[in-house]
Amino acid sequence: MRIIECVPNVSEGRRTEVIQAMVACLRAQPGVLLLDYHSDPDHNRTVFTLIGDDPALIRAMRELYRLAVEHIDMRKHRGEHPRAGAVDVCPFVPIAGVTMDDCVALARELGQQIAETFRIPVFLYAEAATKEDRRLLPNIRKGEFEGWFEKIRDPNWQPDFGPAEVHPTAGITVIGARPPLIAYNVNLGTNHLDIAKRIARGVRFSSGGFRHVQAAGFALKERDQVQVSMNLLNFRETPIHRVFEVIKAEAERYGVPVVGSEIVGLIPLEALVQVADFYLRLEGFQMDQILEWKIQQVLFERLTGTTE
């Protein structure tokens, strides 16, 4: 079985009718399954998670870009989360029976089509990056939509596909391939934004923190609290519990409690097992001790005759 995951981040998290039009469009695509979507009004951003095969995902993404270009005007977009385009970023993630190289090829193919069809400058990132300083998304996004009109004149920031001109309403877009990512937020019992920002600096790679962590501090106005919002780029090397414990200790230093944490969208089972394993100090625990996992595997082995 061949499964590729695709996780477009769209710069709209408030207008229900636009979000629902996108959901309906993605659900109607043959060969694609919409697993999840999560809209955040503070971030003014929606994250979709799809799985499917190569041509079906390309078709579905073209339709999503079409709706985003039609409905989103970046000149009017405001939100807590940094963004540089209507479809801000679109990574392909190898899940099963597919290599990272397959996903890189898919990113290039989609990038070419989007540039040609919509005249949006396309930048390839992560494993699909064509230059070292395009590997990390924040490097590309720096300056955001508003700053890109200037940034795109820099010879070092010519797009991988499409015109050297920012789309007037849709901005730029970033497409790539990467391992599974966990969007993880920790909420603090204070409204002091500087504390969240200081803790974010402490855990993120760019300022001396964990190698596979991107982090920023945000205000959660509706809750009168602040949040350390993160992307965990490689949970096998930098697991959730290690990041959580450092944030808890740093917050304590300010007399601030961790009131909760939040997994945004989907998480690989293995990442949750890591957490239970750490806190319970498990000895010798194996994934196939999980009843549902084991039943599925044994049934699959029986069906395919690969049991010993």
How far, in Å, are 102, 172, 173, 214 from residue 161 at the CA level? 19, 11, 10, 26
Minimum CB separation of residue 51 from a second copy in Å reads 6
How far, in Å, are 171, 202, 280 from residue 175 at the CA level? 14, 28, 39
33-48 burial, b at 16+ Cβ within 10 Å, e below that, comes to ebeebbbbebbbbbbb
Does residue 21 bind a second copy (CB under 8 A)?
no
Cα angle 117-125-183, degrees, rounded to a multiple of 5: 105
Is 167 among the catalytic positions? no
Does residue 292 bind a second copy (CB under 8 A)?
yes
How far, in Å, are 53, 285, 288, 297 from residue 300 at the CA level? 21, 22, 13, 5
**Contact range with a second copy by CB under 8 A, out of 119-127, 139-147, 205-213, 254-262:** 254-262
Minimum CB separation of residue 91 from a second copy in Å reads 14
Footprint (CB under 8 A) of a second copy, residues 234-253:
240-241, 244
Does residue 263 bind a second copy (CB under 8 A)?
yes
Does residue 306 bind a second copy (CB under 8 A)?
no
Footprint (CB under 8 A) of a second copy, residues 61-100:
95
Minimum CB separation of residue 149 from a second copy in Å reads 38
Does residue 152 bind a second copy (CB under 8 A)?
no
How far, in Å, are 14, 27, 43, 107, 231 from residue 40 at the CA level? 7, 20, 5, 26, 15
Q: Kindly name the residue from 38, 71, 77, 81 that is annotated as catalytic.
A: 81
Does residue 187 bind a second copy (CB under 8 A)?
yes
Does residue 283 bind a second copy (CB under 8 A)?
yes
Which of 3, 21, 25, 219 is in the footprint of a second copy by CB under 8 A?
A: 3
How far, in Å, are 5, 7, 91, 172, 233 from residue 103 at the CA level? 9, 12, 9, 21, 16
Does residue 262 bind a second copy (CB under 8 A)?
yes
Closest residue by Cα to residue 265 from 296, 225, 232, 306: 232
Q: Which residues bind a second copy (CB under 8 A)?
A: 3, 5, 33, 35-36, 51, 95, 180, 187, 240-241, 244, 258-263, 265-269, 272-273, 275-276, 279-285, 288-296, 298-299, 302
Residue positions annotated with a catalytic role: 81
